[in-house]
Every structure is written in C-alpha cells, then in structure tokens.
Amino acid sequence: MIKAKKKFKNNRLKNIISLSFFKVSNRRKFFLYLAILLMGILSLTKYFYNQQLIQISVVKTFIDIFLFYLIVISILNFSKIVFISSYKKFNRFSLQHKDNLITGIESIYWILLITTLFIGTLQFIHINLSTFFTSFALISVAFSWLFKEYIANIIDGILIMFSDDFKIGDYVRVGDYVGRIRDITFLNTEIRTDEGDIVFIPNTLIIQREVTNYSKVKFKRIIHEFEIDKNLFTKVRRIEKLIIKNLIKEFEDIFEHDKFFLKIVKIKGDSAILAAEMPVTKYTFTIEEQMEKNVSLTVMEYIDSQEDND
C-alpha cells in the first residue's frame, strides 16, 4: 500500500515536471523550460555575486532587465498553456487543433507581452511613465494618421478572432476570391482558394465588405438555370430524370438526389427558363462549377439527340 502511494506520488510529480497533462507541443515546453532555467541561473548569479554587481551598475541593470523579461515570458507562457490546453481538453480537440479562440489567445499573449516588457524596460532605465506618455501624446495624432490602416487591421483582426461569423476552416467568398480560411493574423485573413492559391485579405475588408460564408448554410444547394425551346416543353420530366441520373453517376457521395427539384422560372414566347436545384452535403466553388457543367452537358446532349431523331 505504501509502495503504491509512493509510486502514485512519483508519477504525479513526474507528470507535473514534464507537463504531460497539458495538451501542448514539445516546442512550447522546451521554450518554457529554457526560460525557467535561464531565470534560475540569473537568480543564482545575483545571489552569489550581488556585491560585485552593485559596483558594475550597467551589468546589474542588464541582468535585472533580462531577469524581468524571463519572469514575464514564463508567467504569460504558462498562463497561455493552461488556457489553450484546458480548452482543447474540454472540447476533446487534437494537439494540432487551431481555431479562432486559440488564435485570439495567442494574439492577446503577444499584446500583453510586448506591452509589459515595454513598460517594464522604461521603469528599469528610470524613464517616468507619465512624462513619457505625455510626450507621446503630442505625436500620437501624427502616429495614428500614418499607421491608421495597420491599427484598424489589428482591431478588426481581434474582432474576427473572437467572432462566430468567420472561423478557421470556413468556406467563404470575399469579393472575387473563394476558398477556406487558413489563418487569421493581426493584419490579414489568409484564404486558400480552390485553385491552391494563398490570398491575404486585409482584415478591414473582411469586416467592411459583403462576405458569403458557405459553411454557415445548413441546407446547401446549387441552383443552375438553363433555357429550352418550346418543342421540349413536354420532355421536361425526361430531362429531369437524365439530369438526376448523370449527377448521381458523378457526384454520388455529395448529391442528395431525393431532394432535387427542377422548376420553371419563366416562360417567354417560344422558350422557357428552367432552374435545377441541386442539394449537396458538401459545397465548394469547384463542385458548383462541375455540377453546373454536368447539367449543361446533359441538357445539350439531350437536345442533340432529339434533333438527330427529327
């Protein structure tokens, strides 16, 4: 019993040291361990050589600043690891999983890190914060005017990261670009198009422009219109059956043939405009083009066969 308790305690201590209970990459663990190791070395150096360092003020200041950096980095890194790991474990995500919330936490980490290190450095080099920010306010108008686009992109980027409207992995259309969102940074939203191109769209355009998010549509359907002559009006049922047959042949995995619908949009003189509504379980711009092409070829081949029979 005592051995079992000791073994349990040893395993628990081992897990705590190795951070194995956190869903975090080995690279993050390595940098956290490195920061803690350097922090320990500098703390011991200050403890054993404090009197000598006092005489060399520049070296002492440098060690104090570097030690402060390591403490801030370690605390923020550990906090980030706890938040992201808890989120992944709660939702049963994989180690490699990345979404808007994780991207947002990473961004907040960098904002806090840069801000804290900047203010801390000013304190160590004895620059009065109120004086500094008063002087900074005098040039803030010119600064904001010069970098207003970058500032707007950063703010919009944070809004997108914590928004439910757009998520990493969503299939979207932004202007002329259609593809999946791969990443969201402070300045850009990265989209991979169906052609394999990587497009970087400024975050302000994502917020300001009309964006179609196909991943948000619960019932996905593709509508393709085509025109037929009046002598084919009585053959509509036959055309509908051929379209369904050819779509099943090529898109059996995604085409919901039982929900297919062929409707008459408009009759104009000697012709009629029909619309094929094609429900699908998966949507991409490429799939839409391929299905529209399939319908068009089916209709044209049927028209040619009728003309040959005549």
Cβ contact 171:211 at 8 Å:
no
Tell me how crowded residue 126 is: count the other CB atoms within 10 A of its CB.
Answer: 7
Q: The tokens of 33 are what?
A: 């361990």
Nearest to 229 by CA among 308, 291, 299: 299
Q: How do residues 143-165 score in pLDDT, each as one tens digit? A: 566 566 777 788 888 888 887 78
Rounded CA Rg of the chain? 31
Whole-prediction pTM: 0.55
Mean pLDDT of 52-64: 68
Give pLDDT tens digits for 190-199.
988 877 888 9
Comparing 5 with 40, the larger pLDDT belongs to 40
Measure the CA–CA gap between 150 and 203, rounded to whole angstroms. 10
